[in-house]
Structure 1
Amino acid sequence: MNKLLAAGAITVAVALTSSGCSSGTSGTDRSSAPSSEGGKQKVSFLVFPSPNLPESYWKAQVELVTKAHPDLDVELVAAPSESERNDYAKQLAASGQLPDVQIGMQDLVALESHLAPWTEAELKDFLCPTCGAVNGKVLQLPTNTQTIPNVFYNKKLFAQAGIAEPPRTYAELLAAAEKLKAKGIAPFVGGGAFVTSQPWTAILATDLYARTPDWMARRRGGQTTFAADPAMKAATQKFADLAAKGYLDKRQIGQDYPKTQEAFLGGKGAMYPMGSWFAAAADQSDMKDDIGVFAWPGDDGSLHLPAFTGGGLSVSADARNPAAAKEFALAFQLTKENLDASVKADALFPAVKGYTPPSDTGPVFKAVYDLWQKAVTEKATVPAFGWEAGDAAMLPGMQGTFWSTAQDLVSGRKNVDQALAFLDTEWEKTG
């Protein structure tokens, strides 16, 4: 899912050419005419290729839309990075080069003047039409739900360590980690960027959001801070302790996201806290039948599964042809074949009325989806800390700061008090 953006890069990778997709450029040329030859309406579409969603995926999905909407001529612009996509999109927006349609991004959504709002009528087919709203305006289509994180585990490595079943309480999770470590098996697979922060997000789900689901709203309103909240400090200490005990390996911080995925699928660690999207790669692997999944357990064993709904397309406020841009975005997000493809390629849970996943999904996706459905039925979903959208999210720029702070905690560069104070300092700078 993630690669590293070269500092200050503005040039985009050459995009794809097909009957419905013309070659990519650096952003959008606002001086060009809004229509292509033959009366077709031009729409530029910024995407972020990843291991699950390579350029070939985006090309195929765009072609599905343009076949059904022959009035559209879509220019697929492939960015050179996924991991720093918020910063990249903000650079394009600041320079007046933001493409007409983009994958939804937290920091860009927060800069609401750059995006066109969606109307109530345009949102009628979505299960949560107001998810991710900013000041009452929905700026990215609330298309998908993801659970962040789940804990994927290697059944064979669990058996080697004498662990008969997934842990149901936090104490059992620690006991399992100790058994794995004693057998010379890395308890967790970790890595750089957002990967390191996944256990922290999980602990905050069970120990903070389960009790205070509006914590982020309180932080945004100045009613609490990272350093002053005892529950935040206790949860963060739990996370730091995982590293101190050797269950999280600081040597893995240098691994990028693809390498962490390869490491888990290669049997180099027993547990992999990761978003539900990992199920797609897991189901394409040889070990798909040996991968289980459980929700990160809290102290009392009750279920609290962090979830995020949003992540859909947004349309530039300066789109050359706003009507055509919205036509494309809605068609892309509501075409059943596209939704089915997103389920299989990125293990998304489409938040679209009347939609059900295809029956031929793999065993890992089915396990993740069933876990989410169980949490929904039991009203046990909570926000996914650091992944929220709109008014429920951290301030722009803070997501990356949260991720880097997680790395500092695991590496030992910061202790808990220093980390929380740093988050507060950066929050005030951003605000």
Structure 2
Amino acid sequence: MISRRTMIAVGALAAAGLALSGCAAGNSGQSDGKTTVSLLVNVTPNLTEDWWNDLVKPFEKANPDIDVKIQNPGAEGVAAAVPRLLAAGEAPDVVESLPPSTELAPELVDLSTYDWAKNGPLAEQYTIDGKYYMAGIGMQLQSLWFYNKDAFAAAGIAETPTTVEELSDDLAKLKKAGWTGVQTGGDWMSSYALQTVGLPTVVGQHPDWYQKMSDGKLTFSKTYGDAVDEYADWIGKGYVNDDALGIKYADAEQNFLAGKSALYPMGSWFVASEAAATTPANIGVFRAPAFDGVKQPAMGANIASPYVIMKDSKHTEAAAKLVEYLVTDKTAILDQLKVDGNYRAGYEYDMGDLGKELLQIVTDTPDAAYTPTGQGYGERTLPSGYSTEINAQTQALLGGTAPSDVNTAMDDWFSANLK
């Protein structure tokens, strides 16, 4: 799955920057007796430079000897800016929105000695060789089904499904009642519904699925095959909108918000779209179920606002103080969660009913259930290009390709791309 936010690691960093670990950090130093700590951040229409400066003001007030310099990466974004800054010998002290990868880890400070890093959201899932290189403030959930409550009522569905089999039965009832069941689209969206069907079971049964797939110890057809078959059955029975390949993400979202479909597989950021809509449909959300018999369905999730400290920093102690503040101060955490529509158990901000339903899912989901989605993160990664391939094969499925052919194609792809 692909998050709407910039949550991908930088493979290009290996070539651009790993040989430069001895370069001096050019963006931090002493000014007016203060230590200047540079913070490279993701700047968006809601995460403005002014917002970031306001976020760190209380920290600067509490630490008058530290000045935080917000760095805007501009149009190139954080992921592209980091290797460029490394090559220029101007590595920032702290980077936000760039989770660690095996390529990036040699450039990062090991945060394993800090309890606030080890005890944060998804901390264990993002470790590399047992080391903690990042700390985050919350999470984006991905294994979710948003649903039209009025459609469910019209179809006589009183409870949300708890297994894939129940979900399939509900789709049959929705079709009989005249509803388009699953709203999906083309581009990166194509594989989203399939992964929402598959991952809760696949990783629920094989917690080390990512590692074993990369080692060739498991196969796609043997682990994911049932989900591919099930989704193909939905397509064949008309449970999925038949114009999916021609629908863009924004249009798919608007169709669901307008009440033109009954179910929408999407990440937790959709809650912000629902809250901003003028007259949205009556929408609820439930956790993506697994096939019957899976005791603990996996929950796809990404870290929200991961912070890392660059090894080139000359002020790692001050940088660590800043990161600790950003990921432990309750007001700072709530400000960050709210502005980007993210969630964390025990942290409730002003949100609508749909947001509260999602927060309850976060509260009820055990830490052990969380899993990467798509190509993965930390040590749980698949061969490069997986997200593109699963998307292409799902588009083939939507176009009428037999599920057995899709499973064979995915097996062949893994065989050709094993690490």
TM-score normalised according to structure 1 size: 0.74
1:115 aligns with: 108
Pairing 1:386–2:388 present: no
The one of 313, 317, 320 equivalent to 1:319 is: 313
The one of 344, 347, 352 equivalent to 1:350 is: 344
Flag structure 1 segments of 5+ consecutive residues without an equivalent: 5-9, 11-28
Inter-partner Cα distance in structure 1 for 2:48 and 2:141: 22
Secondary structure class of the residue paired with 2:109: coil
Q: Partner letter of residue 357 of structure 1?
A: Y
In the TM superposition, what are the counterparts of 1:25-424 in structure 2 within 5 Å? 32=26, 34-35=28-29, 37-38=31-32, 39-47=34-42, 49=44, 58=52, 60-63=54-57, 65-70=59-64, 71-80=66-75, 88=80, 92=84, 95=87, 99-105=92-98, 108=101, 110-121=103-114, 123=117, 126=120, 129-181=123-175, 185-192=179-186, 194-226=188-220, 229-249=221-241, 251-253=243-245, 257-286=249-278, 290-300=282-292, 304-308=297-301, 310-311=303-304, 312-319=306-313, 321-350=315-344, 356-358=346-348, 360-376=350-366, 381-386=369-374, 388-395=376-383, 398-411=386-399, 415-421=405-411, 423-424=413-414
Q: Determine if contact 2:140/2:301 at 8 Å carries over to the other structure.
A: yes
Secondary structure class of the residue paired with 1:269: coil
Q: Determine if contact 2:123/2:134 at 8 Å carries over to the other structure.
A: no
Say if 1:49 and 1:360 are closer, same or farther in 2 by CA, change over 3 A. Answer: closer
Deviation at 1:283, TM superposition (A): 3.7
Deviation at 1:133, TM superposition (A): 0.8
Inter-partner Cα distance in structure 2 for 1:61 and 1:411: 48
1:7 aligns with: none
Secondary structure class of the residue paired with 1:292: strand
After TM superposition, the structure 1 stretch with the greater mean CA deviation from structure 2, 34-43 or 91-100, is 91-100
Inter-partner Cα distance in structure 2 for 1:381 and 1:274: 18
Secondary structure class of the residue paired with 1:308: strand
Inter-partner Cα distance in structure 2 for 1:254 and 1:72: 50
Say if 1:34 and 1:190 are closer, same or farther in 2 by CA, change over 3 A. Answer: same
Inter-partner Cα distance in structure 1 for 2:416 and 2:137: 31
Q: Determine if contact 2:39/2:69 at 8 Å carries over to the other structure.
A: yes
Inter-partner Cα distance in structure 1 for 2:400 and 2:55: 44
Inter-partner Cα distance in structure 2 for 1:56 and 1:173: 45
Identity, in percent, stands at 24
Q: Partner letter of residue 47 of structure 1?
A: N
Deviation at 1:176, TM superposition (A): 3.1
Q: Determine if contact 1:197/1:403 at 8 Å carries over to the other structure.
A: yes
Q: Determine if contact 1:168/1:301 at 8 Å carries over to the other structure.
A: no
Inter-partner Cα distance in structure 2 for 1:101 and 1:165: 46
TM-score normalised according to structure 2 size: 0.76
Inter-partner Cα distance in structure 2 for 1:374 and 1:383: 15
Q: Partner letter of residue 49 of structure 1?
A: T
Flag structure 2 segments of 5+ consecutive residues without an equivalent: 7-11, 13-22
1:2 aligns with: 4
